[in-house]
Structures are given as structure tokens and as C-alpha cells.
Chain A
């Protein structure tokens, strides 16, 4: 059993069904009598709806119903909500204009839903949707934050003047200004954090179902957090009691954040199913996914770093404009604020920090959390400017970082932006990364590359993230509408096997293995005797779901709590069986024993006795199961150093990533293989952001120009190097597993590391992501021109 517990690279239990094509996804589910929904979507970025004619569509074969926003309004359905209220500089709540599940008077981005056809087959629904005629008054759209904030810009919502969702700030402005006043050197940088499309392999899908006999509503949906969806649908959208609504998120093929949110389409399926008393299914196609899955990032930032003559950081100020898209998505407001500005200290002792963030509405797809959510944006700003500062001061970038690191003996460390870092060894990770990347040998590699006509560059990123989201009281005080604890339940069967019910959801992370390892390790049950159950509100206790690298730190901790309760009860049963006092019973890895004797009872016998309680303590309930909830005491703060090395072909502008080292500190590691896989995937997404990916809207028409993989460039295997992954373990001191979280680290660290390597190779900071061949070539051209002019 020792090779299945914590710390072991156990193969993923769930992979057999996934690899053999036996996963069970929402679109695989078909309910008796099921109808199909197809949405008629806006072809315009911004328009007033003058009229909608559905007469022809209604008469088409197979059509059961055609609905517009007005039909929804008659039923008094609530709009989609934002679950986190950010208060602006003046203490006023953010602007959250109404977001109808089907547009009523205006469409505000290409793909906005204008009507829905419900038909007996998908083909018939689609045919009829094409027969809907909409008369629009086309308006001038605005797609980027800079234009949207200009006086006289078109206003996306009448109730958000100047397109401003909020103007927010954080940190100590006066202290920061004072720091700049005494600075020996100030480094300034302007950055764009490019907008990304999440592109999970499985597109979104939903089935709404209603049984009049029991008044029961069932929703099958591609969600990372089924209970949160149930809460929103019940309490905010429909006003239904939670015990009459069941939300099932079966196998989910990736989310990266985009499946946290409550979307219009699943909501329409539920509404229509209740109206028609028939199951209604919708599955997104890839174009719809590009148009309607919440996007990520999209910041424009100016930052300044004040230093003394030795490069010691004195103050840091950041001004960011964040694109919210056309509507405020479920957690959108928190991303460029609390998940962003609170991380601006990075791994450094910068004493004064001040951030201002303007969130802006535009005629684009809503933007919300995407792998890392705010923390990649913060890391990108911090690590680009630190690298730039090192170059300006002619201090080695590794050395400049080292001079400013939070030292090992300073933990817990209070930053000037509210966080208390739990634990870390920042210099050790840096040393390890420099060694693994042969940082010292770079000069020679650069010279060799130059002989082949290649520009070689190296870049570092020392990132920090706040994971294990999050202490409920803290997030509540910052505007969150929910608590962010997690639940667990351990249920033994009489014959010794175990169900583990978790409120965390697994959609690629490997929880069915990792969580089973914890239970196996703690309760001495073989891995194959453990079934992890998740994703169904009827089967698992209320839980908050999976995002923000929280599952193991929060959900895993809840499992540990439940396991402790099992052990406590087990001790009582064991004491009875071994005729000893409970205080004399010891427990270790599935075996109860009487201290100082050779008497022992294994867990399986305890479970059997609990369910066949013939010889049993008189005052004890039968059965062996335990529930636990865990509300974390603090965030966890994974950190690490990534080193990227690139070679650029100056004739074409093509960048090749030739070397990648990641040294991460995730605290204790339960399954190193799964963790390494998460790191690999995260880096791939980060490299995607830095080199390849980018959502592009036509600035005039607001059309999405990257609405397919022909134009939206996803990373492929041959775009990526072979990674060298190292790990440091500084346990998290405040959760029972000592874990910190690993799901987002790669995506957080990679963009800055890679762009620092590219800017090193090019000798200029003036390049934005994605560093496509054309963008890199343009920089080289302008440098050639500049050199020629000299």
C-alpha cells in the first residue's frame, strides 16, 4: 500500500475510461423525449433590435417552439448575475447592467443570443433558426479599453456611463508616492496582456429537464462547480427552492475557468424544459465556443518601479485598464482586482504598492477567470518590469531578484497589499533553476547561436500566486457573494471499500486518483477500493467546486478532516474489540493497536463491525461515515522560478523555445506525476499566450476575426520544448496536508519568462504578446532601420 499513498506517482485511475473513449460527457447523455435548442445569434457587435419575425421559423418542420427575450421576460426570469461586488474608489458598487438570457432590446457582442428554436432534431432547430428574421439598427461598436474610455465613445450600456464598470484602487497611495520621491532610479513599462479564448477540448453543453410529478428540475451541464450553478439558478435566476433542483456535471473535458460561470444557454435550456415539460439539450459548436465562452486577460497596463541606487525596490505603482466585455460575467469583477492587485508584491519585499484598475465595458465577449485569473496578469507586470529594471541598471536579473526576495526567515510575511505569505524558499528555487538551466553557460550558447545567425535570449520569471481559494470571511469582506470552503464525506461499506464524496469537481485534474491517494494513505484502504464521487448535487454535500488551484488545499483538507473523524470513531470500535481503553488505542496507516501490546485490528474489520454491530460499544451509533467542511485559514502561496531560453530566426521572426526549466514550490506533493502534468499543461498555455494565441476583433465592425482554429493559434506539441521540471517542498503551515496547489502555476509563470527571453534576444522591451513571427520581425525591422539611420 505504501506505493499508493501520498508522494507516489500513481497512474491516474480515471484515464482508462478517458483513453478508451468511455468517458461520459454531457453531450453523451440523451433523455427520453429530448428536444434540441439552437440559438439565433447576433451578426452585429452592437445594434438595437427593431423587430424579430419568427413566423416562418415556427412553421418549419420539427419546430416545437421559438422564443425571444420578450417570452423570457413574461416569465420574470432574472438576468445572469455577477457574484462578486467590487466597490470603487468612492465606495460605490460596480455597475452590473442587466444581462438577459436572451437579448431584448440591444445586442452587445457578435454572438449575443437573440432567439432560440426548440425542435425535435438539431438539424431542424438550426434550419428554423436561419429562418428567423431580425431587423437591426446597427450601432458603432467599441472593442478595446482605450477607445472605450475616450470621451464620446459609444456606450455599451446606458446605465454604465463612459463604459466604466468601476474605477478601483488598492494599496497605500501616499506611501508609494513618497517612495518614488526618494528613488534613485525609476523603471517604467507599458504592457498589453492579450485576450485569450479558453478552448477546452469539450465544448459547453447542457440539458434541462423537468418532471411535473415531483416538481423536480434536473440540469446536466459542463460545469466546474455544480452547486454554485444550482445556487445561482435557484436563488437569483428562477427563484426555485434548491431541494427541487439537481445539477449534474458528469465528465467534463477541461474548463480552464470557462466552465465556472453560469451561462445564458444552460439557463435557457432549464427555462424551456420547465415550460415545455420536455428535456431540452444544447451543445456548443466550436464557433459558438469562440463567440460565447468567457474569454481571459485583456489588460492594458502602465507600471513604474522605484528603486534605490542598489536596485532595492522602494515602491511600485500600476495602472490597469481591464476589458470586461459586453456584460459582467459570474466572477469577472474579482479577477482584475482582488486576484490581481493583491499579488503585485510578487516574491519581493517592495514596501509600498499602489494599483488603480479601471474595468471597462466593450462590445466583445465577456471576460472572466481563465487559468490563473488575475495572477498571470500580475506576474506578467511584476516580472517584466523587474527584468527591464535589471537591464537598465545593468544588474544581472537573477541578482536583482535575489536582492529583493522575501527572505526565508521572514515568513509568515505580510505584504503591503493585504496578503500574508505562508511559507517559501525563494532564493533556493532560483538557485536550483539557474543550475538546471546552466544560466552561467548562456553567454557561450548565445555566441554559438550568433554564429548560426540566430538571436538567443534567456528570461526568468519568479512568480507567486494565491491559491487554496479562500478564507470565507476574507473574501466576504472583499465583496464575494459566497463562502469558499469545501466539503467532503467518507463512507465506508461493510466490506471495507470506500466512497469519497467531494464538493470539488474534476475535469482533467486527476482528483479521482489524488483524493483516493490521500484516503488510502490516511485510512489504509487500497486505492482500487476507493471511489471518488463528485459532480452531482444529489450525491455530494454542498460544495464550492474547482478553480483557483483550490481542490487539494481546500477539498483535500476537508477529506483529511473527514478521515480524522473516521479514525476517531474507529478508535472507539477498536477499543471495544480489543477490550482496551480508547486512550490506549493507537492508529497508524489503517491499523488500530493497543499501545505497548501486540494487539491490533485493521480498518476493514472496524468497518465490518460498524455495519454488523453484534459485538459493539453500547453508546455508539452503528455505521462508518463522516462528513467534514473545511474553511481555509489563509490562501496558500505557491511560488517558483521558470527559465525560458529562445532562439530567434532574424530573417523570418520565428521564435523557437529551446530550453525550459521550471522549479516550483507547491508545498507537499501528493502525486508528483500528476503535478508535473499540470505544470506541463500550464506552461503550454503560457507559451500559447506569449507566442501564438490572441483573440482579435475588427476595431471597426467588432467582428471576431479569430473565430476558428484556422485563425486562433493554439499551441501544438512541436511549438513546445521538452521541459525540465524541478520541485522544492516548503509545506503550507496552515492546512493538514501541507499542500499549496499547482494547477495554474505554469500558465502564470510562462508568459513573463518567455517574453523576458524574447526581449533579451531582441534587446528591446517594446514587443507585446503574442510574439508571432510577424510581430518579432517588425521589431527586428525597426531596429535594422534604426541601426541603418545611425
Chain B
């Protein structure tokens, strides 16, 4: 780790100002991605602005068919929240599959979504549930939030404040873990929402994506069998020592069926 200045503001305004004043500042939330990066000296920010002291970023509320989750809410809190379990059980289930207890007790939803790791779990829920990402500047629809490998629509000093998930008719998540890292090698989130069926795939490609062919098939018949024969292009998949493009493409089909099965209960 290189030396840096550390700040822990109490308000969003202060956080924005601290970052603006820093020569090369960065927000930190749970630190579960950023700290390993710093320890390996892959990044050398001048300042770290810790968001976890800002109380307005925390909390879970359910009202009018929407689950709203503050950005600094930890994975473990989402996984065990009675409200989330009742409204969107698939989301609580997904949170409980992230990392290990230590990671779940430190890592935050905002951090995970802002980071947009291609193998992270949350992006599939955000996209699959057609959630809205609230920031200090605007509201961003899921479909335009995740823009590429580790890239999002967020600007430099923009802070995710909360994420609003519309409660679906039903939803299911299935994760096929990378055997070593246990991130998603392929994760599929399926949901029957007010705007139709959505299928979001994480882990398989460079960025979470919607599987339109599967969505169309499931719109006709929401069942695992409806996905039979639907192919995924291996050329668009990630390819590494754990899984080739072919294997990942194959897994997308298997995992999607299981996600639908999970949604059906």
C-alpha cells in the first residue's frame, strides 16, 4: 500500500467536496475490492473518502411495491433482512451467496454496483429487476448503468445513494461459482416484472447483460423447458483458465434453467 490521506465525512456534501479537493481521490465503502487493490499497489489514490459514516446512505425500506436499499448497506444485512426476504427473496438469497461471512459483513451494495466487476453478483439483480440507481446527481435506469468491463455510467465524483428495486411477480437467482474465487463464473437472475420477463447474466461476459432470446422464450412460457435449445454465443463470453467461452456459454443455459426453477419455487 502507498500512503494516502483518509477522510470520513458525515454528509454527502462534505464527501463530494473532499473528493473534489483531492488531487486523485477515491471513495471507499466496504473496502473489499479497493483494499486488496491498494495492498497489491495496483492503485495509488492520494485520498480515500470513506462513505460509511454517512447515515443517509444506510437503511432498507419497502413501500409501494419498491424495495429501497441504501448504498452502504452490507451484503450480510441484505441477506438477512426480513423485509427483503419477504418482498424479493431472490435478492436476499443472492446477497447470501456473495463471498464469505467476512466479505458480507464489510462489502456494500453501492460498492459492488459501482465497481461493476464482471463476476459480481449484484449487477445481475439490478439489471434483472430493472432497478433504478439513485446518485447524488440523478436517477439512472439499470439498462443504462452498466456500460462495460468495470465501467458504469457514474461520473468522477458521483456517489450512489440508494438503489430502488421494483418488487417483481417472481424472481430467481442461480450462481455457478468459480471454483477458486467463488465469484460468479456464471450467474443468472430471472424476474417476471411489471415490464415483462428479464434475464440478466453475470460472470459469463465482460459485463452483465440481458439475454433477450431467453426473455422472449420465458415471456411465452415461464418454465425451464422454455429455454431448451436457446444458444449463447461463446465468442462473446469470457475465456480464462477456469472456463472457456464454450463452457461458459453452455453454463448460461444450464444456470438460467435453474434460476427459472428457483423462481418457480
Do residues B254 and A651 form an inter-chain contact, with CB atoms below 8 A?
Answer: yes
Do residues B176 and A652 form an inter-chain contact, with CB atoms below 8 A?
Answer: yes
Interface residues of A in 760-790 (CB under 8 A from B): 772-774, 777-778
Do residues A772 and B250 form an inter-chain contact, with CB atoms below 8 A?
Answer: no
Do residues B180 and A712 form an inter-chain contact, with CB atoms below 8 A?
Answer: yes
Closest to B247 in A: A774
Chain A residues within an 8 Å CB radius of B242 = 711, 772, 774
A290 smallest CB distance to B (angstroms): 12
**What's the Cα separation between A287 and B254 when bound, in Å?**
35
Q: Is B58 an interface residue (CB 8 A)?
A: no
Q: A651-B254, A652-B251, A652-B254 are in contact. Are A774 and B244 (CB under 8 A)?
A: yes
Do residues B179 and A711 form an inter-chain contact, with CB atoms below 8 A?
Answer: no
How many CB-defined contacts (below 8 Å) exist between A and B? 36
Do residues A772 and B181 form an inter-chain contact, with CB atoms below 8 A?
Answer: no
Q: Is B243 an interface residue (CB 8 A)?
A: yes
**What's the Cα separation between A777 and B179 when bound, in Å?**
14
Chain B residues within an 8 Å CB radius of A692 = 179-180
Chain A residues within an 8 Å CB radius of B1 = 123
Q: Is A709 an interface residue (CB 8 A)?
A: yes
Do residues B244 and A709 form an inter-chain contact, with CB atoms below 8 A?
Answer: no
Interface residues of B in 1-15 (CB under 8 A from A): 1-2
B206 smallest CB distance to A (angstroms): 17
Contact with A along B1-40 (1 / 0, CB 8 A): 1100000000000000000000000000000000000001
Do residues A774 and B243 form an inter-chain contact, with CB atoms below 8 A?
Answer: yes
Chain B residues within an 8 Å CB radius of A123 = 1
Q: A705-B241, A772-B242 are in contact. Are A711 and B247 (CB under 8 A)?
A: no
Interface residues of A in 678-709 (CB under 8 A from B): 692, 696, 705-706, 709
Do residues A711 and B244 form an inter-chain contact, with CB atoms below 8 A?
Answer: no
Closest to A649 in B: B254
**What's the Cα separation between A696 and B242 when bound, in Å?**
11
**What's the Cα separation between A651 and B255 when bound, in Å?**
9
Closest to B251 in A: A652
Q: Is A710 an interface residue (CB 8 A)?
A: yes
Do residues A696 and B241 form an inter-chain contact, with CB atoms below 8 A?
Answer: yes
Q: Is A713 an interface residue (CB 8 A)?
A: yes
Do residues B254 and A713 form an inter-chain contact, with CB atoms below 8 A?
Answer: no
Do residues B247 and A710 form an inter-chain contact, with CB atoms below 8 A?
Answer: no
Chain A residues within an 8 Å CB radius of B41 = 126, 130
Chain A residues within an 8 Å CB radius of B40 = 287
Q: A652-B254, A777-B250 are in contact. Are A713 and B243 (CB under 8 A)?
A: no
Chain A residues within an 8 Å CB radius of B181 = 709-711
Contact with B along A232-250 (1 / 0, CB 8 A): 0000000000000000000
**What's the Cα separation between A712 and B182 when bound, in Å?**
11
Chain B residues within an 8 Å CB radius of A706 = 241
**What's the Cα separation between A712 and B247 when bound, in Å?**
19
| B2, B179, B251, B254: the one within 8 Å of A772 (CB) | B179
**What's the Cα separation between A714 and B1 when bound, in Å?**
26
**What's the Cα separation between A774 and B254 when bound, in Å?**
14
Closest to A713 in B: B180
Contact with A along B172-188 (1 / 0, CB 8 A): 00001001110000000
A708 smallest CB distance to B (angstroms): 9
Do residues A713 and B179 form an inter-chain contact, with CB atoms below 8 A?
Answer: yes
**What's the Cα separation between A25 and B179 when bound, in Å?**
31
**What's the Cα separation between A651 and B241 when bound, in Å?**
19
Chain A residues within an 8 Å CB radius of B241 = 696, 705-706, 711
Do residues B180 and A710 form an inter-chain contact, with CB atoms below 8 A?
Answer: yes
Interface residues of A in 701-731 (CB under 8 A from B): 705-706, 709-714
**What's the Cα separation between A774 and B242 when bound, in Å?**
7
Chain B residues within an 8 Å CB radius of A287 = 40
B262 smallest CB distance to A (angstroms): 15
**What's the Cα separation between A37 and B247 when bound, in Å?**
44
Contact with A along B73-91 (1 / 0, CB 8 A): 0000000000000000000
Chain A residues within an 8 Å CB radius of B179 = 692, 713, 772-773
Interface residues of A in 3-26 (CB under 8 A from B): none
Do residues B180 and A711 form an inter-chain contact, with CB atoms below 8 A?
Answer: yes
Contact with B along A51-70 (1 / 0, CB 8 A): 00000000000000000000
Closest to A770 in B: B179
**What's the Cα separation between A161 and B53 when bound, in Å?**
64
Chain A residues within an 8 Å CB radius of B254 = 651-652
A286 smallest CB distance to B (angstroms): 10
Chain B residues within an 8 Å CB radius of A714 = 180
Interface centre among B179, B241, B247 (most CB of A within 10 A): B179
**What's the Cα separation between A130 and B250 when bound, in Å?**
43
B174 smallest CB distance to A (angstroms): 11
**What's the Cα separation between A454 and B176 when bound, in Å?**
17
Contact with A along B153-183 (1 / 0, CB 8 A): 0000000000000000000000010011100
Sample of 15 more A-B contacts, CB < 8 Å, known A287-B40, A652-B251, A774-B243: A126-B41, A652-B176, A652-B254, A692-B180, A705-B241, A706-B241, A709-B181, A710-B180, A711-B180, A711-B181, A711-B241, A711-B242, A712-B180, A713-B179, A773-B179
Name A's B-contacting residues (CB within 8 A).
123, 126-127, 130, 287, 651-652, 692, 696, 705-706, 709-714, 772-774, 777-778
Q: List 25 A-B contacts (CB under 8 A).
A: A123-B1, A126-B41, A127-B2, A130-B41, A287-B40, A651-B254, A652-B176, A652-B251, A652-B254, A692-B179, A692-B180, A696-B241, A705-B241, A706-B241, A709-B180, A710-B180, A710-B181, A711-B180, A711-B181, A712-B180, A713-B180, A772-B242, A774-B244, A774-B247, A778-B247
Name B's A-contacting residues (CB within 8 A).
1-2, 40-41, 176, 179-181, 241-244, 247, 250-251, 254
